[in-house]
């Protein structure tokens, strides 16, 4: 079993949509995949047609003293989803318990080939690191991401994923060139092109590969899936 997490240099980078698309791409090549939503916003399920008012999730099960596996949905053959769930409004926001998730990964490894984590964008004094085999850092080719990348210890990551890349943008092209030179030999870079199909897929409550299998972004995500397969720990 291989575990992977998407980490953003900031919020609003489309990590949930990317994770849903990656999970679908891995499932398409025969992998057994569990998507795990660690974000209190509880949005990952929307990419698989779960109703917006769905309350069940691992965090709610944990709060009620039930096993977190009570909240697993099989959304497609070979693809499962574990939502965060809807906690009471007065429940405090806290980081996922890293030690608890380490233990859960050992148990879940018996049933899945991949665990894909959508991790929350929490303040540094609140965030806890859930250990995974593959750590992907998500950014956009824009100045906010460039400045925030300078504050990251990039050696802690296995891949820099540049989302929503538009080759027609001079700024984005220049930044991508700078990053390729800056992180050469240190952090591989994968590009996912800007594509309206991502927005349309969410509107249809479907992962990208199911909604628009011929789209440019879908081909990018399929390439990302192949890259992830080659990084599977031996």
Decide: 202 and 182 in contact? Cβ < 8 Å. Answer: no
All structural domains of the chain with their residue ranges: 2-230
pTM of the shown model: 0.92
51/115: higher pLDDT: 115
Residue 123 confidence (pLDDT) above 60? no
Q: What is the pLDDT of residues 176-185, one digit of tens each?
A: 999 999 999 8
Task: Locate 218 and state its tokens.
Answer: 């879908």
Say if domain 2-230 classifies as CATH 3.20.20.80: no
Task: Locate 59 and state its tokens.
Answer: 């965090």
The DSSP H or E segment spanning 102 is helix 98-108
């Amino acid at each position: 079993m291989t575990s992977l997490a998407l980490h953003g240099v900031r919020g609003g980078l489309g990590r949930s949509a990317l994770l849903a698309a990656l999970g679908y791409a891995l499932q398409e090549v025969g992998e057994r995949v569990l998507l795990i939503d660690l974000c209190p916003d509880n949005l990952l399920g929307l990419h698989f047609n779960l109703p917006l008012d769905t309350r069940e999730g691992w965090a709610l099960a944990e709060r009620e003293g039930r096993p977190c596996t009570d909240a697993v949905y099989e959304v497609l053959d070979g693809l499962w989803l574990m939502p965060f769930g809807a906690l009471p409004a007065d429940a405090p926001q806290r980081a996922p318990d890293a030690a608890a998730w380490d233990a859960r990964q050992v148990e879940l490894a018996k049933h899945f080939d991949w665990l894909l984590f959508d991790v929350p964008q929490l303040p540094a004094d609140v965030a806890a690191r859930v250990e995974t085999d593959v750590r992907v850092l998500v950014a956009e080719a824009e100045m906010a991401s460039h400045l925030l990348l300078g504050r990251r210890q990039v050696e802690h990551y296995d891949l820099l994923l540049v989302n929503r890349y538009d080759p027609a943008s001079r700024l984005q092209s220049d930044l991508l060139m700078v990053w390729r030179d800056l992180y050469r030999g240190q952090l591989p870079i994968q590009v996912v092109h800007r594509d309206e199909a991502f927005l349309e897929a969410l509107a249809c409550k479907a992962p990208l590969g199911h909604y628009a299998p011929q789209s440019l972004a879908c081909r990018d995500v399929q390439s990302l899936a192949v890259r992830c397969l080659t990084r599977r720990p031996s």
